[in-house]
Amino acid sequence: MDASSPSSSNESPWLPFESRRRARDEKREAVLRTAVALFLEQGYHGATLNEVARRLNITKPALYNYFRGKDEILYECWSIGNELVDDCIAETSAGGGSGLDKLRKLIVQYAELMTADYGKSLVRFDIRDLSEDNRKIVQTAKRRIDRAFRDYIAAGVEDGSVKPCDPKLAAFAIAGSLNWIGHWFQPGGELSGRAVAEEFAIRLTEGIAKTTTQVTSTRKTTTHKAAVPAAEKADKPPRKGNASREDGSEHHTRTAAGAASQSKRARSRLR
Amino acid sequence: MDASSPSSSNESPWLPFESRRRARDEKREAVLRTAVALFLEQGYHGATLNEVARRLNITKPALYNYFRGKDEILYECWSIGNELVDDCIAETSAGGGSGLDKLRKLIVQYAELMTADYGKSLVRFDIRDLSEDNRKIVQTAKRRIDRAFRDYIAAGVEDGSVKPCDPKLAAFAIAGSLNWIGHWFQPGGELSGRAVAEEFAIRLTEGIAKTTTQVTSTRKTTTHKAAVPAAEKADKPPRKGNASREDGSEHHTRTAAGAASQSKRARSRLR
DNA sequence: ACTATTTGTTACCCATGGGTAATATACGGG
DNA sequence: CCCGTATATTACCCATGGGTAACAAATAGT
């Protein structure tokens, strides 16, 4: 299909060796991309491995070169999404600002994740379809995400940027709205994921923000066109480039255990 | 079709006949109650009909006296939940008040529904597991629910009780928070369903309400259960479709089509 | 070219669980 | 008492799809 002819001529002699590994990883990711799309489209149980394979122009047993089984594929899809969320949390936690600021940043990023496949997998897939071990990992990670929301809210209450409220319920309310995006959002719609994300960041914090967004009644800020504060070009995804990738890891990622913690693995270009 | 011969017992001659029907309906509902609990507990695909039957102290084929198949059981579970929601909407629509008032009433009732099994089935079950026909019904009903939220919000914007906003997005945000309840709420927790519901009614409208909400958290509002018109004898199927069940041929339940509309069927004590 | 490894294929296995047929039992009615 | 209906049971079918074994083809290393 691609990149077959060159590389051996003027490239490093090591490259063929590495290119094979890279080809493998790319194939692995291709499987995941196809699988997550199919799982979302037809549901985990409705989707068959035969269909996954067919869309990749291979046959079912070939998939078993890369994954141990269907449930591991599911887990890996989820895992990628989880890493993306972890990155969001790490980034918002690292950045400064009040509790409310952090909360809003997290909402923006989380919301946008929910508009993409791997993000959707976090909320659309059923945890019970995973193996015992992986299910525990997922549950733990979900608690961590929940805690991030609660912590930011609690911090906001502390520093005065958020009205006094029950962080637990407030976090549930916010997370619910955000997770729901993963159910209704379709890329073809009139709203971009980014637009939805920024709208939600305002809307969901309007009720608990103490720094009132002061909607002066004279300006009707129609809120959904251009009222959003322009969102400083803070889109810096190119932070911390994809440096260390070939840290000779197990070529199967297998065991899947312990993979949900360190999210810095800098997945290349996802979504 | 009635006016048959009297009978021998001290009760109405109709009674044995009717008591048998009632027994049947009770068994049907028992199946549904068991099924919805099991589906929620283990997931639709994880739950087996054998297990449903086992919990009822019967065997799998006995279930087929009441339902045509697993997917119909799923649909009926969903249908009950949907009727409950329809009742909420009918009630809030009938009551007066501003758009915001209606919205809050709907939120309270909808939220409390989400803390019970049949309510959860609305958001936890996968629409794709239904038959083609039933899936269409569900989709239509979901749109109707969504529209209720949007309409109330839009009405609120009109009458000035709600800040100008995009009803579509606001409805998504609110519905998301509410639906999420169906995922995290567990009856054993520290918060009652009612408490969560009333908290959410305030919290979710705080951002869009124009009238500043004085949070008097002890809001013992409206009727929720007793407000339903008694209608004990209302078991007579209304003219139209639905027909009387004793049309020997299809002793199963009406193809499930068209059952999602009329919600006043006064299900006995659910939840 | 020869060999070992990776990666893919064809052909198959088989556990699962939804669904059905044949049949037994309880029961109301004449 | 017998019949018809409703209900339940036992025993079975079988489509589905995840998973595997045996084998073939491409590829790297020598």
* 3 state SS for chain A: CCCCCCCCCCCCCCHHHHHHHHHHHHHHHHHHHHHHHHHHHHCCCCCCHHHHHHHCCCCHHHHCCCCCCHHHHHHHHHHHHHHHHHHHHHHHHHCCCCHHHHHHHHHHHHHHHCCCHHHHHHHHCCHHHCCHHHHHHHHHHHHHHHHHHHHHHHHHHHHCCECCCCHHHHHHHHHHHHHHHHHHCCCCCCCCHHHHHHHHHHHHHHCCECCCCCCCCCCCCCCCCCCCCCCCCCCCCCCCCCCCCCCCCCCCCCCCCCCCCCCCCCCCCCC
**The predicted structure's pLDDT at residue A49:** 98
> Which DSSP category does A129 fall into?
G
CA-nearest residue of chain B to A142? Answer: B184
- Cα B190–chain centre separation: 24
Mean pLDDT of B106-133: 98
pLDDT confidence tier of residue B96, bands split at 50, 70 and 90? confident
Whole-number Å distance between alpha carbons of B73 and B66: 9
Chain B interface includes A107 (CB < 8 A): no
Residue A195 CA, nucleotide C6 C1', distance (Å): 46
**Residue range B169-185: mean pLDDT, rounded:** 98
Q: Which residues of A touch B205 (CB under 8 A)?
A: 207
Backbone dihedral angles phi then psi of residue B21, each to the nearest 5 degrees: -65, -45
Residue A184, judged by CB atoms within 10 A of its CB (0-12, 13-18, 19+), counts as middle
Nearest alpha carbon to residue B166 among A197, A229, A221: A221
- Provide the pLDDT confidence category of residue B74 given band limits of 50, 70 and 90: very high
What's the CA dihedral at B211, B217, B218, B221 to 10 degrees? Answer: 50
Non-local (6+) Cβ contacts of B89 within 8 A are: B106, B144, B145, B148
The answer to whether the beta carbon of residue B6 comes closer than 7 angstroms to any atom of strand C is: no
Q: Are A23 and A30 in contact (CB under 8 A)?
A: no
Query: Does the pLDDT value for residue B223 go beyond 70?
Result: no
User: Would the Cβ of B16 be found within 7 angstroms of any atom in strand C?
Assistant: yes
**CATH superfamily assigned to domain A8-67:** Homeodomain-like (1.10.10.60)
CA of B61 to C1' of C20 (A): 9
pLDDT value of position B91: 96
Reading the block at residue B260, the tokens are 């999602």
Chain A hits for B177, Cβ within 8 Å: 172-174, 176-177, 180
A29-33, B16-20, B52-56, B196-200: segment of lowest average pLDDT:
B16-20
Per mean pLDDT, which range of A227-236, A250-259, B33-42 is the poorest?
A: A227-236
Q: Is the pLDDT of residue A6 over 80?
A: no
Q: Which two tokens stand for residue A1?
A: 């299909």
Inter-chain residue contact B176 with A172, CB threshold 8 Å: no
- pLDDT for B228: 38
Architecture of the domain whose range is A70-233: Orthogonal Bundle (1.10)
Written as six digits, the tokens of A20 are: 């094979």
Coil, strand, or helix at residue B162? strand
Q: What's the average model confidence in pLDDT over B103-121? A: 98
* Beta-carbon count within 10 A of A188 CB: 5
Q: Which residues of B touch A128 (CB under 8 A)?
A: 42-43, 46
Averaged over B195-214, what is the pLDDT? Answer: 85
Q: Is the pLDDT of residue A20 over 80?
A: no
In chain B, count of helices (H) and strands (E)?
9, 0
Task: Say which CATH class B14-206 falls into.
Answer: mainly alpha
Whether residue A35 has pLDDT greater than 60 = yes
Question: Taking 80 as the threshold, does the pLDDT of residue B143 lie above it?
Answer: yes
Least confident of A87-101, A228-242, B216-230: A228-242
Contact B155, B185 (CB under 8 A): no
| Strand C–CB A60 distance below 7 A | yes
Whether the pLDDT of residue B119 is over 50: the answer is yes
Question: Stretch B137-161: mean pLDDT, rounded?
Answer: 97
- pLDDT of B168 above 60: yes
**What would the mean pLDDT of B232-253 be, rounded to a whole number?**
37
Higher pLDDT, B217 or B61: B61
Query: Mean pLDDT, to the nearest integer, of A212-232?
Result: 41
Mean pLDDT over A155-183 rounds to 97
Q: Which long-range contacts (CB under 8 A, 24 or more apart) does A28-34 make?
A: A28/A66, A28/A67, A29/A268, A30/A56, A31/A56, A31/A63, A31/A66, A31/A67, A31/A73, A32/A73, A32/A76, A32/A77, A32/A80, A33/A117
The pLDDT value given to residue A15: 65
Coil, strand or helix at B209: strand
- Single-letter residue type at A9: S
Whether A43 and B179 lie within 8 Å, measured CB to CB? no
Maximum mean pLDDT: which of A266-270, B175-179, B254-258: B175-179
Number of alpha carbons in the 13 Å side-chain half-sphere of residue A114 = 25
Rounded average pLDDT over A242-257: 38
User: Is A229 a residue whose pLDDT tops 70?
Assistant: no
For a pLDDT cut of 70, what percent of chain A falls above it? 72
Question: What is the model's pLDDT at position B229?
Answer: 40
Predicted confidence at residue A45, as pLDDT, reads: 98
Q: How far is the CA of A57 from the C1' of D24 (A)?
A: 18
| Whole-angstrom distance, CA of residue B75 vs CA of residue B165 | 35
pLDDT tier at A3 (50, 70, 90 boundaries)? very low
Within chain A, all domains assigned CATH 1.10.10.60 are found at 8-67
For A213, half-sphere exposure in the C-beta direction (CA atoms, 13 angstrom radius) is 26
Looking at residue A131, its pLDDT comes to 97
Enumerate the β-bridge partners of residue B162: B209
CATH 1.10.357.10 residue ranges for chain A: 70-233
How far from chain centre, in Å, is Cα B151?
20
Residue numbers in A near B179 (CB within 8 A): 176, 180
SS3 B57: coil
Percent with pLDDT over 90 in chain A: 66
Residue among B166, B174, B207 whose CB faces A206 most closely: B207
Cβ-based neighbour number of residue B92 at 10 Å = 22
> Averaged over B160-181, what is the pLDDT?
97
What is the mean predicted confidence (pLDDT) over B70-96? Answer: 97
Measured between CB atoms, does B169 come within 8 Å of chain A? yes
- For chain B, the average pLDDT equals 81
